[in-house]
Structure 1
Amino acid sequence: MDPHHGPLPAVGWRFLLLYALAYMSTSLLFLAPLLVSLALKVNSLVGLDEAPDSLALVAGVGAAIAVVANPFFGTLSDRTTSRIGRRRPWIVGGLLVGSAGVVAVALASSIPVVLLGWCVAQLGFNALLAAMAAVLPDRVPVSQRGVVSGVLGMCLPVASVTGTFLVRLFNGDMLGMFLAPCVVGGFFILLFAASLPDRRLDPADRPAWSVRQLVMTFWVSPRRSPEFAWVFVSRFAFVLAFAFLTTYQAYYLLDHVGSREAAVPHQIFIGTLVQSGVLVAASLSAGKLSDRSGRRKVFVVTASGIYALALFLLAAASSYNGYLVGMAVGGLGFGMYMAVDLALAVDVLPDPHTAAKDLGVLNIAGALPSAVAPAIAPSVLALSDGSYAVLYAVAGVSAVGAALAILPVRRVR
């Protein structure tokens, strides 16, 4: 239901295709640096011994910026009365600013410059993400949200494979590794922005704005919206598990598996490809089954449990083949989760008038773990004598927490 224009019409394949490509491209902008490029850039500047702490600083501060930026820009998007719509200005502007930050990271000669560039990238890309996520409640009716969410769930693995492939393609060329995902992703994002039927907000319908409203940008009351709060907790715990894996994947392969540095981009690409093949099938199937059955919770709980199992398998692995097995199982859990989690979240939004703001708050649960994981990981590694097996076991426990947190949700079956 569009609060200002009545029931939403069904979306067609053309909209869905362009939206999926743009959403995948948005994920590509974040993931290509986080999966490979950023870790290799930091390693090239300070060496393997200091790299984990330096990466923790860059990733942690960048994630803290994202926590603030996503709901803030979501609120601004909800209030935008531009002639070209509410979402389009932030999609285009966010892409340009974020890409400039990525170029700065690629050309940086010191960790402080990497940090500054990554913070700029997070500001821009989170403005883009806030507007892109809000398109789902803006344009897609409830009856199609499971299927659309399932398709969007495939975007993350496709972006992961594409990102690692592009990095591998430009291996040895630092600027190319960082810039190629922006060029490829930017094309599809701009294509979607040009075709998006983005309604202009009438100034009379603009939500209220005050200092209190600014503070509330970052808050949804758990007492008034307990279902939303539990979904927030579940997503936070699940993404925290994912953040442990992705942030330290390169160092896991170097230190725990014993891979050569030159082989790491290729190994991560193969691992991501294996994970994504399973993930795509799981995401499509889970999204359709969720819509047909009218159920969301059982898929999220099962997915979280499977992802926990994958992380425990990675913790126990002692070879690259063991790593691939863990990634495949992880693809099954992650695919089921991504197919249904967004649909469940949209179903429990507190207010359709503030969809972008509330999704921005929910996206804190997706951004904050990227700051928490690097903050926790050095202590876990220090206490475990540098064991990445222990670190991934901690990640598995977090995934179990994601399953438990969704159980109190009652409004959605």
Structure 2
Amino acid sequence: MGWGTDMEVGATHDEMISSGGSRSEPSKVVGGAFIASYAAAYLATSLLFIAPLLVTLALKINSLVGTDRAASSLSLVAATGSLVALVANPLFGRLSDRTTSRWGMRRPWILVGLAGGSFGILVVALAPTVWVVLIGWCLAQLFFNAMLSAMVAVLPDQVPIEQRGTVAGILGVCLPIASVGGTYVVKVFTGHELAMFLAPCAIGGFFIVLFALILDDRRLAAADKPRWSLRQLLGSYYVSPRRHPDFAWAFASRFMFILAYAFLVTYEAYYLLDHLGSTEDEVPQQIFLGTLTQAVVVVLASVAGGRLSDRTGRRKLFVAAAAVVYGVALFIIAMAGDFDAFLVGMAVGGLGFGLYLAVDLALVADVLPDADSVAKDLGVLNIAGAFPFSLAPAMAPLVLTVGSGSYQVLYVVAGVCALIGAAAILPVRKVR
């Protein structure tokens, strides 16, 4: 099922495949119907990831092992799940790039990923022990990353270069809106554990399935399918920094920025409990208010930043400035003495986060190494988004030990990571 001939959309699969199976850049301007449906599906994808990470996973583990053991158990679950994501995303990106299904290259993985990931969330919700939570979360990460690798590849598949900043800016709004939506849904179903986990899957799944059904997906002819080899399989996880230095610097920048973000969201519940003295019943409401405050600013910053980046033709300046602002926000949160100060830090973080998400994705799409393996290369880049969620839980206990258990020290370290991310984008040469 396609978008219809009367709508302006990205290039069709026939237009995007030239002789020899090589993909050319899409040239047709995408219309509002495509952007709205893509944004809704991308938002829904973010909802599936973020609702457990922000609230339900931490609360589930806390209910199983108690406050004293919750932080270390959450570290184990989050770190292992992120390692699964690190392996899964490039692999499924490679498989998506090689898919010759009559349903297209991206659609099958979107639907399979949604079904498998939702089953993993169900396992987490019903888990009687932390080890079962770990198994369920690994399943969720495996399949949701299969879906994510295909979903992200739609941007270079369908959207022309001159629109990528604008579309990426709209997509940048999705994560904070999903954060607000996810925490709100969890708040509504507080006290009903199964519903807290599955309601985001049901709501998000509707929009994902709708987008998958109406997507005019890119298709690959069987004759153009690349040969499979062990070298190609291992290459799913690697892009040469020597041959593609711009991609390498973009990877490093995103890695450090997401590491800063991972410190914040993974330990936000425990920061509120320990540093600000919140009660367990207050935490869902406070996280909801924090994400709502941040999201309001993110929406404005992301949409405006993406448009301005397209108009000026500049990417690096916006990405670097955004990472600096986000680092400052983490310093504000670290020094917060009450919940109001925490909200100020979240608002400032929204400005940096919105600009970064909007322009960084457009920058990355502009420096992809190979037009014939966009999903694979985006999967490699997604290691920079997945591995920090393993590294942060692994680093946090050491940082907390050195800092005498202070979450202030942890968030200062996070702020420094964001500043390093700002510096790392400066050597990129292909884009301004």
- TM-score, scaled relative to structure 1: 0.99
The amino acid of 2:271's aligned partner reads Y
Whether 1:51 aligns to 2:51 is: no
Query: 1:205 Cα shift?
Result: 1.4
Distance 2:127 2:304 in 1: 43
Aligned to 1:102: 121
Aligned to 1:265: 284
The amino acid of 2:146's aligned partner reads A
Equivalent in 281, 302, 310 of residue 283 of structure 1:
302
SS at match of 1:241: helix
Distance 1:208 1:309 in 2: 48
- TM-score, scaled relative to structure 2: 0.95
SS at match of 1:83: coil
Whether 1:71 aligns to 2:90 is: yes
Q: Which residues in structure 2 correspond to 1:245-256 (within 5 Å)?
A: 245-256=264-275
Aligned to 2:261: 242
Equivalent in 3, 8, 30 of residue 11 of structure 1:
30
Whether 1:312 aligns to 2:331 is: yes
SS at match of 2:218: coil
Q: Which residues in structure 2 correspond to 1:124-203 (within 5 Å)?
A: 124-203=143-222
The amino acid of 2:68's aligned partner reads D
Equivalent in 397, 403, 408 of residue 422 of structure 2:
403
SS at match of 1:261: coil
Is the Cα–Cα contact under 8 Å of residues 157 and 218 in structure 2 kept in the other structure?
no
Distance 1:349 1:57 in 2: 33
The amino acid of 1:149's aligned partner reads A
Is the Cα–Cα contact under 8 Å of residues 78 and 207 in structure 1 kept in the other structure?
no
The amino acid of 1:133's aligned partner reads V
RMSD across aligned positions (CA): 0.8
Aligned to 1:37: 56
The amino acid of 2:425's aligned partner reads I
Distance 2:291 2:93 in 1: 30
Aligned to 2:139: 120
Query: 1:252 Cα shift?
Result: 0.2
Distance 1:119 1:274 in 2: 31
Distance 2:225 2:331 in 1: 48
Aligned to 1:351: 370
Query: 1:8 Cα shift?
Result: 2.7
Query: 1:206 Cα shift?
Result: 1.2
Is the Cα–Cα contact under 8 Å of residues 3 and 352 in structure 1 kept in the other structure?
no
SS at match of 2:264: helix
Whether 1:303 aligns to 2:322 is: yes
Query: 1:217 Cα shift?
Result: 0.4
Equivalent in 125, 130, 142 of residue 111 of structure 1:
130
Query: 1:3 Cα shift?
Result: 4.6
Distance 1:352 1:151 in 2: 23
The amino acid of 1:362's aligned partner reads L
Distance 1:410 1:79 in 2: 30
Aligned to 1:91: 110
Per-residue displacement from partner, 1:361-400 (whole Å, max 9, x unpaired)? 0000000000000000011111111100000000000000
Per-residue displacement from partner, 1:292-345 (whole Å, max 9, x unpaired)? 000000000000000000000011001001110000000000000001000000
SS at match of 2:68: coil
Per-residue displacement from partner, 1:79-110 (whole Å, max 9, x unpaired)? 00001000000000000000000000000010
Query: 1:230 Cα shift?
Result: 0.3
Q: Which residues in structure 2 correspond to 1:334-373 (within 5 Å)?
A: 334-373=353-392
Is the Cα–Cα contact under 8 Å of residues 104 and 117 in structure 1 kept in the other structure?
yes
Aligned to 1:383: 402
Gaps of 5+ in 2: 1-10
Distance 1:268 1:206 in 2: 47
* Off by >6 Å, runs of 4+ in structure 1: none
Distance 1:208 1:158 in 2: 41
Distance 2:337 2:256 in 1: 26
The amino acid of 2:72's aligned partner reads D
Whether 1:223 aligns to 2:250 is: no
Q: How many residues align?
A: 413
